[in-house]
Structure 1
Amino acid sequence: MGLEIVVKDIQEGARAEVSRIKAEGDAKASEIINEAKELQKKMLGDSLAKAEEDLKNLHQQVISSANLEVKRITLNRRKELLDKVYNQTIESIKSMPASKDEKLLKHILNKYEADGSRIYSSKASEDMVKNLTSLTYAGNINYIGGVVLENEDRTVRLDFTYDSILKNVYERSLKQISNLLYG
């Protein structure tokens, strides 16, 4: 009987040890599962935050791109309108009555004739220019109107063509014109 008691004590001790190990294992497994759940929550939260940030950035990019496209289209339309106004101005100059053309040419020649010895004009203005000046008529130029004066040795040319004057005024006034039209 003494042996049975020893065996029984060993078995009870083993069972107690198994229960203790099992309890420790269950506790450790529970701890690992809880840590995994917390890690999963953190990773999910981080992923969600990153997705929200990426979405916000993408949204901002789309808005910025759309705004740039609207600005580009607006600027193109403005340029088209300004070009149209410029071309209409050229047409107005081309259809200007001869009396106004003559008045402008007289004004130019009165002010600058002494600076030149040769004069060029458009074919349409040739007779008028010859009647308005004593400078040597040097030929025709392909412009909508106005004159070009040249000195004797051809080193100085004064360009008073309507094309050049209009271009100069247009370029100097472009910002002001744009502000008037578009604010």
Structure 2
Amino acid sequence: MGLEKVIEEILAAGEEQRKRILAEATEEKKRMVAAAKVEADNQRKLREKQFQERCEMNRQQAISSAELEAKKRILQEQNAILAETKSEVLKSLSSLDATQRKRILEKLMTAASKKLPKGIVHCRKEDEGLFSAPAGFKKIADLNGVGGMLVESEDGAYRIDLTFEVLLDDVWTKNVRRIYELVFGGA
């Protein structure tokens, strides 16, 4: 009977050990499942955060893109308005009455004669009789355009372009900021 008791003790010890190992394995399984759930939850939260960040970045890019497009359109419209304004100024220069044209042409001729002692004055046929060229200057009515004059040295080496178009371009370029403020009411 001693052997049976030893076998029973071994079996009982084995059963105890099996229960303990099974309990430990069950606990380890619970810990692993819990850790996996925590890891999965952390990964889900990370992906959600990354997704939200991408969504926000895409939203910001869309807003920035729309704002840029709006600014481009506004700038295009402003440039069109400025071009139209410049065209209107040129149109008003072309419709100056004879008295105003005479006064402007005489001032231009005086300014040109200070830079060139003699030469050729090109003007519009319509303006030819409105001003007199000083001694040493020959007047030729061969200029097209809105008005003004083109004065050149006798040999053609030096030219002073005093046409209304060029003068307007110069004034416009130098004062574009001020013109912008006048047309659009501020910076």
Q: Deviations along 1:119-161, whole A, 9 cap, x unmatched?
A: 10123323435xx125212451222100111112221111111
The equivalent of 1:112 in structure 2 is: 112
Counterparts of 1:92 and 1:145, CA distance in 2: 11
Using the size of structure 1 for normalisation, the TM-score is: 0.91
Task: Give the 5 Å matches for 1:130-169.
Answer: 132-134=132-134, 135-169=137-171
Q: Note the alpha carbon deviations across 1:79-112, whole angstroms, 9 max, x for none.
A: 1110110011111111111221111111222333
Gaps of 5+ in 1: none
For 1:21 and 1:27, locate their aligned partners in 2 and report how far apart those are by CA, in whole Å: 10
Could you tell me how far apart the structure 2 residues matched to 1:32 and 1:126 are? 103
Distance (whole Å) between structure 1 residues aligned to residue 57 and residue 20 of structure 2: 54
Would you tell me which structure has more helix in proportion to its own residues?
Answer: 1
Determine the C-alpha separation between the residues in 1 that align with 2:112 and 2:14: 124
- Aligned AA (2:151): L
Name the counterpart of 1:81.
Answer: 81
Are 1:70 and 2:70 an aligned pair? yes
1:69 aligned partner, one-letter code: E
> Match for residue 14 of structure 2?
14
Could you tell me how far apart the structure 2 residues matched to 1:15 and 1:174 are?
99
Q: Distance in 2 between matches of 1:124 and 1:19?
A: 120
Name the aligned partner's letter for residue 178 of structure 2. Answer: Q
Paired amino acid for 1:124:
E
Name the SS for the 1:140 alignment partner.
coil
Q: Which residue of 2 aligns with 1:33?
A: 33
TM-superposition CA deviations, 1:1-45 (whole Å, max 9, x none): 333323322221221111011011101101111110110111111
C-alpha change, 1:179 and 1:63, in structure 2 (3 Å) is same
TM-score by length of 2: 0.89
CA contact (8 A) 1:125 1:145 kept: yes
Q: Look up the equivalent residue of 1:101 and give its one-letter code.
A: R
Aligned-CA RMSD value: 1.6
Give, as a single letter, the amino acid of the residue that structure 2 aligns with 1:48: E
Q: Which runs of 4+ in 1 moved over 4 A?
A: none
**How far apart, CA to CA, are the structure 2 residues paired with 1:126 and 1:106?**
11
Identity of aligned residues (%): 24
**Equivalent pairs, count:** 181
Amino acid at match of 2:145: Y
